[in-house]
Amino acid sequence: MSPNKKLGLIIKSPTVASSVKVVAYLKSQKFESLFLNLPRSLDELVAEYVMGMKYEDLVEEVRRRRLLPEPVESWLKEYEPLLKSLKEEGVEICTFCYKDDKVFELETKATIEAALLVLRDSITGKVSTDRWLKLLTSQTNMASVIHREADYILEEASNYDKNICITSFEGRELKKYLEQEMETWVKYVGLPYHFTPLEVLKREVHLGKKVTEDRVRQLVKEHIKFIKEMVIPKDLDTAISEWTKRMLYWYPNIYKREKDTF
């Protein structure tokens, strides 16, 4: 592959606020293609949207084609600032949605099942450790998934000199594959960020750590408390922000950095 071709990885936290910061950062960059961490089934529709469709029409078309679960608006909320920025005057780039469809479908089903388990356990007051372990250990092998997604990104990015890819924290693994074939750079947006209790549990399972029933019980109880005390009375972005401040209280100037930095 030509040494002139470059690919930037923007690794963002999973919040709307970080997407807004990504949009601001992209305005300072010159690039030809943008890879979005949305399922490939949305690729053609996003291209149509960029060519002239209204955002509200995009949402309705996603709903009509049943490309995302209901409520569609909730699943797209994190990406809304990014998608709307593509319609701003002067923006002329090629877009690609690179997430594996089958894996995305499995992940959405797992997310819904996890939400139902949280509801069940919060009502009964007992953590369904066996169900949680079954759910978490049944997740797809992420290494093979990331490899396939990297291959797709490289194939499309080879047609452009300057590419940018939006990713979540698995972008660190994605970079390992991409940098073997193309010059890459990394930008983190939306830090500091502290994983929620359920995200911590998922990561421990996926990293192959021996997760005991006591550990599952502890983290699920913490997550239920997080949902009840922070997400429900506020909203997810606010809850994550306050959770990060609480868990990283020792982080230098965390309140100022959250407002002033990417």
pLDDT digits (tens, 9 = 90+) for 127-186: 999 999 888 887 656 777 888 999 999 999 999 999 999 999 888 889 999 999 999 999
pLDDT of the residue at 140: 56
Query: Nearest 5 degrees, angle CA 182-CA 185-CA 187?
Result: 150
pLDDT at 258: 45
Please indicate, yes or no, if residue 58 is contained in any of the structural domains: yes
* 3-state DSSP assignment of residue 204: helix
Q: What is the mean pLDDT of the chain?
A: 88
> Sign of the CA dihedral 231, 233, 238, 239?
negative
| Confidence (pLDDT) at 254 | 54
Q: In the prediction, which pLDDT does 250 show?
A: 63
Please report whether residue 66 resides in a domain.
Answer: yes
* Range of the structural domain that residue 255 is part of: 6-260
Q: Note whether residue 1 is domain-resident.
A: no
Residue 51 in domain: yes
Burial class (CB in 10 A: 0-12, 13-18, 19+), 183: middle
* Measured distance CA(79)–CA(42) in Å, rounded: 12
Number of domains making up the chain:
1
Query: In the prediction, which pLDDT does 260 show?
Result: 45
Q: 165 vs 102, 144, 150, 152, CA distance in Å?
A: 20, 19, 10, 12
Q: How confident is the model at residue 2 (pLDDT cuts 50, 70, 90)?
A: low
| Percentage of the chain exceeding pLDDT 70 | 91
Is 249 within a domain?
Answer: yes
> In which band, very low, low, confident or very high, does the pLDDT at 259 lie, cut at 50, 70 and 90?
very low
Q: What is the pTM of this model?
A: 0.87
Higher pLDDT among residues 88 and 26, named by residue? 26
User: Is 86 a residue whose pLDDT tops 60?
Assistant: yes
In a domain, 253, yes or no: yes
Give tens-digit pLDDT for 175-190. Answer: 999 999 999 999 999 8
Compute the CA torsion angle 147, 149, 153, 155 (nearest 10 deg). 70
Q: Is residue 196 part of a domain?
A: yes
